[in-house]
Amino acid sequence: MQAKTAQADKKALAEKKAAAAKKAAADKKALAEKKAAAAKKAAADKKALAEKKAAAAKKAAADKKALADKKALADKKAAADKKALADKKALADKKAAADKKALAEKKALADKKAAADKKALADKKALADKKAAADKKALAEKKALAEKKALAEKKALAEKKALADKKAAADKKAAADKKAAADKKAAADKKAAADKKAAADKKAAADKKALADKKAAADKKALAEKKALADKKALASKKVNSRTQIDSQQKRDSKTELLTVSVSLNTGKIVSIASIGILASAILVSAMVFIAG
């Protein structure tokens, strides 16, 4: 705004100075034209006078011979004309001097006014420069204060961000440690459960095998007792045909052998199936632990 006002003042001063210069040029031109007109008029008068004098001289020469009185009259008239011309010239010179004086006074007045305007403009410029310097200083101080404040805020923000980043990193590390501990515990619990299940499956298979072995032994013992009882009964009864006894005995032996083989085969199948199940469980648990790890 101040720069705009200073520019407007500068423009107004330039226009004013240009107007004064234009007016001075116009006055100078008018004076020159006036002087030229006076000179032209004086030349015309002089020429007219010369022509008139020549005419008078010619006429006087012509009339000299004829009219001496007319010559005297002509000389008198010529003297009167000369005096009138002198008076006219004196009047023109006086007027020219007055015009010159008036022009000088007008120029002096214009110069005085121009000096006053120049001084006023210089005073106004000095005041504007002083104000501009004060405004510039105030603006520089305000800018320095703003930059100092911005720097402080930037530093505070950076410190706050660094603190937040540090806290976030600590929280992230704590969360990662907590998750790692939880994953480790879960893996340990899973492995322990798998080991426990494998041990339980192994014990169950062992118990089942022991039960099968115990049942096979009991069946074998019962069969032996039944056979001994049958032998004792056959030995006591002698009314039965010996051939029939032999055939019966052979059949019983065959059945006993078949039963023993069947029990042995069934026990072997149970043990094989239990072993396969334990092995599959162990493989499955190992795979789950490996995937979880």
Q: pLDDT tens, 260-284?
A: 545 444 555 566 676 677 777 777 7
For the stretch 62-95, pLDDT in tens is 767 777 676 677 788 889 999 999 999 999 899 9
Among 93-107, 130-144, 163-177, 195-209, where is mean pLDDT lowest?
195-209
Q: Where are the domains of the chain?
A: 2-141, 187-292
DSSP for 176-222, written as a single string: HHHHHHHHHHHHHHHHHHHHHHHHHHHHHHHHHHHHHHHHHHHHHHH
Distance in angstroms (rounded) separating the CA atoms of residues 282 and 291:
14
- Report how many helices (DSSP H) and strands (DSSP E) the chain contains, helices first: 3, 0
Among 155-169, 205-219, 248-262, where is mean pLDDT lowest?
248-262
User: Do 264 and 158 touch, CB atoms closer than 8 A?
Assistant: no
pLDDT beyond 90 at 105? yes
User: Do 2 and 131 touch, CB atoms closer than 8 A?
Assistant: yes
Q: What is the pLDDT of residue 54?
A: 85
Model's pTM, two decimal places?
0.25
Q: What is the pLDDT of residue 18?
A: 87
Distance in angstroms (rounded) separating the CA atoms of residues 228 and 232:
6
Q: What is the pLDDT of residue 52?
A: 84
Residue 61: how many CB atoms within 10 A of its CB? 10
With a pLDDT cut of 90, the percent of the chain lying above it is 22
Distance in angstroms (rounded) separating the CA atoms of residues 104 and 102:
5
